Amino acid sequence: MKDSLIIFVKAPVPGRVKTRLVPPLTYDQAAAMYRDWAASIYTSLLKIPALSVEIAYEPHPDFPSPDWIKTSSQEVPFFLQEGENLGERLKNAFHSVFKKGHSKGVIIGSDSPGLPTEYIRDAFSSLDNNDLVLGPTPDGGYYLIGLKDKIIPDLFRDIPWSSSTVLEKTLAQAKKHSLKTDLLPEYLDIDRPKDLESLEPTFSIIIPTKNEAGTILKTLTHIRQTSSSYSTETIIVDGGSQDDTLALVQNKATLVLKYPQPNRGAQMHCGAQQAKGKIFLFLHADTLLPDNWQNILMEVFSESGGKAPVALAFRLSFDSDKLFYRTIELLTRVRTFFTRVPHGDQALAVQREAYKRSGGYPNAPLMEEYLLIPKLRKMGRLFLLQEKVRTSSRKYVKKGPLRNSLRNLTLIFLFFLGVSPNKLSKIY
The reported pLDDT for the residue numbered 419 is: 82
Cα dihedral sign, 145-151-152-155: positive
To the question of pTM greater than 0.85 for the whole model, the response is: no
List Cβ neighbours of 416 (8 Å cut-off, separation of 6 or more).
Answer: none
User: Strand, coil or helix: what is 80?
Assistant: strand
> What strands lie across the sheet with 132-136, from one edge to the other?
78-80, 51-58, 3-10, 104-108, 142-148, 132-136, 181-183
Mind listing the pLDDT tens digit of every residue in the chain (428 residues)? 789 999 999 999 999 999 999 998 889 888 988 988 898 888 878 878 889 999 999 999 999 999 998 766 788 999 999 999 999 999 999 999 999 999 999 999 998 987 888 899 999 999 999 999 999 999 999 999 999 988 888 899 889 998 999 999 999 999 999 999 999 999 989 988 888 877 778 899 999 999 999 999 999 999 988 887 777 999 999 999 999 999 999 888 989 999 999 999 999 999 999 998 989 999 999 999 999 999 899 889 877 556 789 999 999 999 998 898 888 889 888 888 888 899 889 999 999 989 999 999 998 888 889 899 999 999 999 999 999 999 998 877 777 767 777 777 788 888 778 888 778 777 66
The percent of the chain in helix, strand and coil, each rounded to the nearest 5, is 40, 20, 40
Instruction: With residue 383 as reference, give the H or E element that holds it.
Output: strand 382-391
Reduced to 3 states (helix: H, G, I; strand: E, B; else coil), residue 79 is strand
Element (H, E) at 133: strand 132-136
- Ordered by start, the domain boundaries in the chain are 3-190, 200-392
- Do the two domains 3-190 and 200-392 of this chain adopt the same fold? yes
Separation CA 344–CA 49 (nearest Å) = 35
> 200-392, what's its fold?
Spore Coat Polysaccharide Biosynthesis Protein SpsA; Chain A (3.90.550)
Note the pLDDT of residue 428.
67
CATH of 3-190, one of 3.40.630.30, 3.30.420.40, 3.40.920.10, 3.90.550.10: 3.90.550.10
Contact 255, 236 (CB under 8 A): yes
Sign of the Cα pseudo-torsion (298, 304, 307, 309, in order): positive
Q: Which run of H or of E encompasses 30?
A: helix 27-45
Closest to 5 in 3D by CA, of 170, 112, 115, 120: 120
First to last CA, the chain: 59
